[in-house]
């Protein structure tokens, strides 16, 4: 049976309907709660295998993700690829390598991300790689929920493109209906 990420999102209860404030600050009527997916080891393994299969593993020696959700994802993919894993954290709003993690010019990096709406966090991860002088080989996310898809200018892409509407708060039709706003998860982004 072929890997079907959309079915996995539905089966795990990760795909939610309502009125949500996204990490980007935009509002949406659908939310993907990645933790419902990655809390299940079998589902996480399926996603990690799909990511690992989509890159040339000989070119990768570090898998980089962002705390918090990216820690489990990056670790699972790195285990399959047989390489190191690292994660960034926000320090005063800036994505940073901490805890003794360091990249060098010899590192060939795969950046992994869970859900992409604007790509902001991935661009921050890419800057961390660039600043360290490491080589960015690919960016792969589980779901790109943006309208037109986010182009990171490198190999990779999403396991699933699922355009889901997102509105600026002042343009949100759900706000205009006075529907309660939920703010699931927090990435530490300002």
122-137 b/e with 16+ CB inside 10 Å = b?
Answer: bebbbebbeebebbbb
Mean pLDDT, residues 182-190: 62
68-103 confidence digits (pLDDT tens): 889 999 999 999 999 999 999 999 989 999 999 999
Q: Which of 54-63, 70-79, 130-139 has the lowest mean pLDDT?
A: 54-63
CB 38 within 8 A of CB 69: yes
pLDDT at 188 exceeding the cut of 50: no
pLDDT for 186 equals: 55
Q: Is 132 helix (H, G, I), strand (E, B) or coil?
A: helix
100-111 confidence digits (pLDDT tens): 999 999 999 999
The C-alpha atoms of residue 88 and residue 65 are separated, in whole angstroms, by: 7
CB 88 within 8 A of CB 95: yes
- Which of the four pLDDT bands, split at 50, 70 and 90, describes residue 118? confident
Q: Which residue has 């570090």 as its token pair? A: 62
The C-alpha atoms of residue 88 and residue 8 are separated, in whole angstroms, by: 27
Burial of 180 (0-12, 13-18, 19+ CB in 10 A): exposed
Mean pLDDT, residues 101-128: 94
The C-alpha atoms of residue 147 and residue 69 are separated, in whole angstroms, by: 23
CATH of 5-176, one of 3.40.50.720, 3.40.50.2020, 3.40.720.10, 3.10.450.50: 3.40.50.2020
Q: What is 18-74 written as a DSSP string? A: EEEE-TTS-EEEEEE-HHHHHTSHHHHHHHHHHHHHTS-GGG-SEEEEETTHHHHHH
pLDDT for 2 equals: 57
pLDDT for 21 equals: 93
pLDDT at 189 exceeding the cut of 70: no
CB 52 within 8 A of CB 77: yes
1-49 confidence digits (pLDDT tens): 457 999 999 999 999 999 999 877 889 999 999 999 999 999 999 999 9
pLDDT for 185 equals: 65
């Amino acid at each position: 049976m072929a890997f079907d990420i959309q079915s996995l999102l539905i089966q795990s209860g990760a795909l939610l309907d309502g009125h949500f404030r996204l990490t980007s600050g935009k509002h949406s009527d659908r939310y993907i709660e990645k933790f419902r997916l990655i809390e299940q080891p079998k589902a996480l393994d399926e996603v990690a295998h799909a990511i690992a299969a989509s890159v040339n593993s000989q070119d990768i020696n570090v898998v980089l993700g962002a705390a918090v959700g990216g820690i489990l994802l990056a670790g699972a993919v790195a285990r399959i690829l047989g390489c190191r894993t690292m994660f960034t954290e926000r320090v005063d709003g800036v994505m940073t390598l901490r805890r003794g993690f360091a990249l060098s010019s010899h590192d060939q990096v795969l950046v992994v991300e869970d859900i992409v709406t604007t790509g902001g966090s991935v661009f921050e991860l890419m800057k961390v790689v660039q600043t360290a002088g490491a080589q960015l080989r690919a960016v792969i996310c589980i779901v790109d929920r943006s309208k037109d898809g986010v182009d990171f200018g490198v190999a990779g892409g999403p396991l699933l493109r699922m355009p889901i509407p997102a509105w600026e708060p002042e343009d949100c039709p759900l706000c205009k209906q006075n529907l309660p706003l939920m703010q699931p998860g927090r990435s530490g982004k300002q």
